[in-house]
Structure 1
Amino acid sequence: MSQPNLFQFATSELSQDAVLCWFLSWLVGDAGSLDPELTNIARNLVCLFFNQFDEYDPIEPSDVFEVTKLEKQYNKIDVFFLVIIKGYEVPFAFIVEDKTNTSYHSKQLERYYDFIEHKYTSVHDILGIYFKTGFINQDDERLPDKYRLIDNNKWLDFLQNQHCTNPIFAEYNAYFADYYEKFNKSVHQALSPTQFEQGLRTVQGQGSLLSKITDKLITSEHRYLHGMNIGGTPWAQYHFWASTKYCEHESFFIRIDFRKCKRINKDYQPYISFRNYSKYNRTRIDCDDRIKRLSYIRWLFQQVWEKVKVKFGHNIIKDTPVADKNSGNYEQEIAVIFLDPLSNTPEMVIPVIRELMVEYHSLLEQAYHSFKTLHQLKDEVISEITSGLGDYGVITNCSHIDKESNLLEITVSMQHWQDLFGEDGLVVMLFQHRNTPGCFINCLCRFESSPKTQGLLKQMEDIDKELKLSEVPYWKPWYTVYADNKDSERGNHFLFDAKGIAEKVVVEVKRLDEKVRKLDVSESECVGMK
């Protein structure tokens, strides 16, 4: 049985912060006289950090004099210290951002630097260290200026070159050497054709596979997350695109996890899932827009998928991965690929998904730019129609159902509908209870579109053709807006073309007639039909 090690139970980033601060504290005040070995480690640590910056000549341990300020979690900076170095009149400021298996995000490194730059104006320079002992992805290697990376290879080399008999240091040194060995084993297993299932049951293995998949992807919207499922198995996610154009937050990400795979009849199989998260208001209008975007991004994934399969061979990955289930959940799966040792090993999957990711990301950028334009045009169309209503009401639904005659289905909220439309404008019978004069009324009316409205609709139609929206299954025109009103007599509206108008009218009239009979409303209380 191996001897228990304190650091086996202190594996968080905060524990790692504490170790760095403990080393550096031996250069604060008179502490250096208490333990020369630990003081020498502290000087070597400052040299390790300082010598990462090529713009300065390398320094030796004897050039490091004193740490004049040492702070942990200083304005959310993991470790901050000021150090006096030989040959410089004023101290250097060091920012240390410490990570294990997560990555920096939300421009935190830039914010830390700006804070110190404004707070400490008399230092010689501000140097940032990105200290990460977990897996390194491409984002970790694209650091802001004035930051340098210390990874687990550099850190292990540093520790093994120190000579110290202190029992705390000896325990930490032994712990990290064991961690490093297990880390490399997990990474190797995760990419192995025969051992990947075991490797992907570790955070390090999942992170390394995600890093391989996304290493060709260049994006400013990135964030790596990981956690544990209820059963104790880890999961990992890489967010590669985000937007706030249509809702509070929308993002696309890849997730590595385990779940049942029906194709090979196995309970828990590792998979790579492409997902969309959209934090939208659960109104009928926003839900409709959400489903439209979801339909399109799944269709778009399928197009890229087919193209990539041709390049790499049709039998590289089995089955069609695209999901087709829609629900009201914020998170929706776009596609899923199961890994198995026969046909879908990481070695086979990585080059395919890597190629797919680059093209899919590019097309998403283009599509969402077009979506934004469509929304702007739709708002202009509704504004143009609303301007003709005056004080009579507000349009809550507008559907362009007949391009040749400019027939629009609209839903308006008003009390005096006859004053606006008159009987000649009505196509569908209207029903309004006598005791609710302010309720929403649904009508199908002929609205003679202005040249401006026709031009806006033509622009929207051109974008539809550019995005090939007509090829998307179950696609509805982008310029359809659903009424968001629970008391609406007809509830959900259904789109129909010009040929189906007559049939729709008959159905609507029969339904309203039945409603009249059930409510026992006199004929004089029911609005007539032209």
Structure 2
Amino acid sequence: MKEIQIPNIFKLATKELSQDAFFAWLLQWADQKYGGINPDLNHTAQDFVRKLIVQTDTYAVTTVEVGRQWHNIDVWAEINGEYFISIEDKTNTGRHSNQLARYKELVESEFGGKPHKLIFVYLKTGNESLSSLDLIKRQEGYTIIDRRAVLEILDTRSVDNDIFNDFRSYLTQLQKLTDSCSNLEAVKTDESAAQGFFLSLQELIPEHTDWNYVSNPSGGFWGFWYHWVECQDFKLYIQIENRIGVDIQIKIKIESKEPSIQLLNQICAELCGLASKYGLEVNRPKKLRTGRTSTLAIVENALPLTLNNEIDTEQLLKNLQNLQQLLDEYSSTKFLL
């Protein structure tokens, strides 16, 4: 029998403002004056505060002041008159318009000369490229709190509160969808699973990678890019392109100022000629198109499956390594000419 899905307000209220409200509400519950009303919720909220300010369980949370949209900062909280937390809360969007640096500068200016310890948090419940999060941590000086970290706290104890449990259930479902990234059908049809697939590749591939959504007139796709190689006056790189509900392909791309169709045909033929050496079936796309970036070839056999229609991750990584070696050899050959 199919499991009945209980209505969940957060499946309807999916905007970041709704999530802002939840986290502001949760932070309010951390104040010690609410301990006698709902002890489990109060203790969990205090665990969340300690996570944000990087404190141990022995740190006593007594007073908590919370607000929203102060100078466009999503959520702020003052803890024990000692800490000031600035939270940039994100669901599926990312940073933009230099906002993180602006918020940090504003808070530092406001609290100059005050005794508060300033904490800057990038709270992300959606999925985001690991390379993007690393930049936010290293360059912007923000602490990253992701969905797993939030769920670890929300799952610590049983809490008797419908708002709390609806949000926990909502995040749990998002995590389950993301973790279904080994199933090809899920990766091809569900954005969370597609993002989970790219996240798993980022953890397994030992070089810089990145992924994001690409909007274009043909409908857009989720793209994963890595392994750029120099070839005289152009670069080649690997792209995994997932058009949700349509197909997923592994491609060899070219980045060049003004490539001619003749040049694209030549490079494509040369790559196809080398591919068999690495056990790869590389074919020309149906139509070559010029542009700043263009698809040179499609690797037909790079995405292997098990008998259960699961992605064979071990073999996929071997195929990608072979594809990297193909591009490396082609690049070195061009520089020797």
- Compute the TM-score of the two structures, normalised by the length of structure 2: 0.68
* Structure 1 residues 208 and 173: alpha-carbon distance in aligned structure 2, compared to 1, 3 A threshold: closer
Task: Give the % identical residues.
Answer: 19
* Structure 1 residues 97 and 356: alpha-carbon distance in aligned structure 2, compared to 1, 3 A threshold: farther
Alignment partner, residue 319 of structure 1: 283
Alignment partner, residue 125 of structure 1: 117
Instruction: Check conservation: 2:302, 2:319, Cα contact below 8 A.
Output: no
Rounded to whole Å, the distance in 1 between the matches of 2:47 and 2:8 is 25
Rounded to whole Å, the distance in 1 between the matches of 2:73 and 2:252 is 33
SS of the aligned residue for 1:257 comes to strand
- Is 1:70 aligned with 2:34? no
- Is 1:10 aligned with 2:1? no
Alignment partner of 1:23 out of 21, 26, 35: 26
SS of the aligned residue for 1:200 comes to helix
Rounded to whole Å, the distance in 2 between the matches of 1:340 and 1:197 is 17
Rounded to whole Å, the distance in 2 between the matches of 1:323 and 1:274 is 14
SS of the aligned residue for 2:298 comes to strand
Give the Å deviation of 1:32. 6.3
* Structure 1 residues 334 and 12: alpha-carbon distance in aligned structure 2, compared to 1, 3 A threshold: same
Q: How does 1:48-59 map to 2 (within 5 A)?
A: 48-51=51-54, 58-59=55-56
Alignment partner, residue 413 of structure 1: none
- Is 1:47 aligned with 2:39? no
Instruction: Check conservation: 1:28, 1:66, Cα contact below 8 A.
Output: yes
Give the Å deviation of 1:240. 7.4
Q: Which amino acid aligns with 1:17?
A: D
Rounded to whole Å, the distance in 1 between the matches of 2:270 and 2:19 is 43
Alignment partner, residue 232 of structure 2: none
Rounded to whole Å, the distance in 1 between the matches of 2:250 and 2:263 is 17
String of CA shifts for 1:229-283, please: whole Å, max 9, x gaps.
Answer: 998xx83135779xxxxxxxxxx99462349xxxxxxx94322456689xxxxxx
Q: Which has the higher contact order (CA 8 A, sep 6+)?
A: 2
Rounded to whole Å, the distance in 2 between the matches of 1:33 and 1:123 is 30
Q: How does 1:349-368 map to 2 (within 5 A)?
A: 349-353=316-320
Give the Å deviation of 1:11. 3.2
CA RMSD of aligned residues (A): 4.7
Rounded to whole Å, the distance in 2 between the matches of 1:115 and 1:297 is 51
Rounded to whole Å, the distance in 2 between the matches of 1:152 and 1:297 is 46
- Is 1:80 aligned with 2:76? yes
* Structure 1 residues 69 and 179: alpha-carbon distance in aligned structure 2, compared to 1, 3 A threshold: closer
* Structure 1 residues 174 and 197: alpha-carbon distance in aligned structure 2, compared to 1, 3 A threshold: closer
- Is 1:256 aligned with 2:248? no
- Is 1:149 aligned with 2:140? no
Rounded to whole Å, the distance in 2 between the matches of 1:43 and 1:296 is 65
String of CA shifts for 1:474-521, please: whole Å, max 9, x gaps.
Answer: xxxxxxxxxxxxxxxxxxxxxxxxxxxxxxxxxxxxxxxxxxxxxxxx
Rounded to whole Å, the distance in 1 between the matches of 2:64 and 2:274 is 55
Instruction: Check conservation: 1:130, 1:149, Cα contact below 8 A.
Output: yes
- Is 1:179 aligned with 2:182? no
Q: Which amino acid aligns with 1:68?
A: E
Instruction: Check conservation: 1:322, 1:336, Cα contact below 8 A.
Output: no
SS of the aligned residue for 1:325 comes to coil
State how many pairs are aligned.
Answer: 310
* Structure 1 residues 229 and 126: alpha-carbon distance in aligned structure 2, compared to 1, 3 A threshold: farther
SS of the aligned residue for 1:17 comes to helix
- Is 1:98 aligned with 2:83? no
Alignment partner, residue 188 of structure 1: 182
Instruction: Check conservation: 2:285, 2:297, Cα contact below 8 A.
Output: yes
Give the Å deviation of 1:352. 4.8
String of CA shifts for 1:145-173, please: whole Å, max 9, x gaps.
Answer: 64333233322221111332112112222
- Is 1:116 aligned with 2:107? yes
Q: How does 1:444-455 map to 2 (within 5 A)?
A: none
Rounded to whole Å, the distance in 2 between the matches of 1:299 and 1:156 is 51
Give the Å deviation of 1:45. 0.8
Instruction: Check conservation: 1:276, 1:332, Cα contact below 8 A.
Output: yes
* Structure 1 residues 160 and 12: alpha-carbon distance in aligned structure 2, compared to 1, 3 A threshold: same
Give the Å deviation of 1:46. 0.4
String of CA shifts for 1:198-222, please: whole Å, max 9, x gaps.
Answer: 3222212322343455654448xx6
- Compute the TM-score of the two structures, normalised by the length of structure 1: 0.47
Q: Which amino acid aligns with 2:7?
A: P
- Is 1:167 aligned with 2:162? yes
Rounded to whole Å, the distance in 2 between the matches of 1:149 and 1:296 is 47
Rounded to whole Å, the distance in 1 between the matches of 2:15 and 2:253 is 28
Rounded to whole Å, the distance in 2 between the matches of 1:238 and 1:77 is 31
| Rg larger in structure | 1
Give the Å deviation of 1:22. 1.4
Q: Which amino acid aligns with 1:63?
A: A
Q: Which amino acid aligns with 2:125?
A: T
Instruction: Check conservation: 1:273, 1:336, Cα contact below 8 A.
Output: yes
Rounded to whole Å, the distance in 2 between the matches of 1:11 and 1:226 is 22
Give the Å deviation of 1:113. 2.4
Alignment partner, residue 516 of structure 1: none
String of CA shifts for 1:424-459, please: whole Å, max 9, x gaps.
Answer: xxxxxxxxxxxxxxxxxxxxxxxxxxxxxxxxxxxx
Give the Å deviation of 1:356. 5.9
Rounded to whole Å, the distance in 1 between the matches of 2:214 and 2:63 is 38
* Structure 1 residues 208 and 342: alpha-carbon distance in aligned structure 2, compared to 1, 3 A threshold: closer
* Structure 1 residues 306 and 338: alpha-carbon distance in aligned structure 2, compared to 1, 3 A threshold: closer
SS of the aligned residue for 2:119 comes to strand
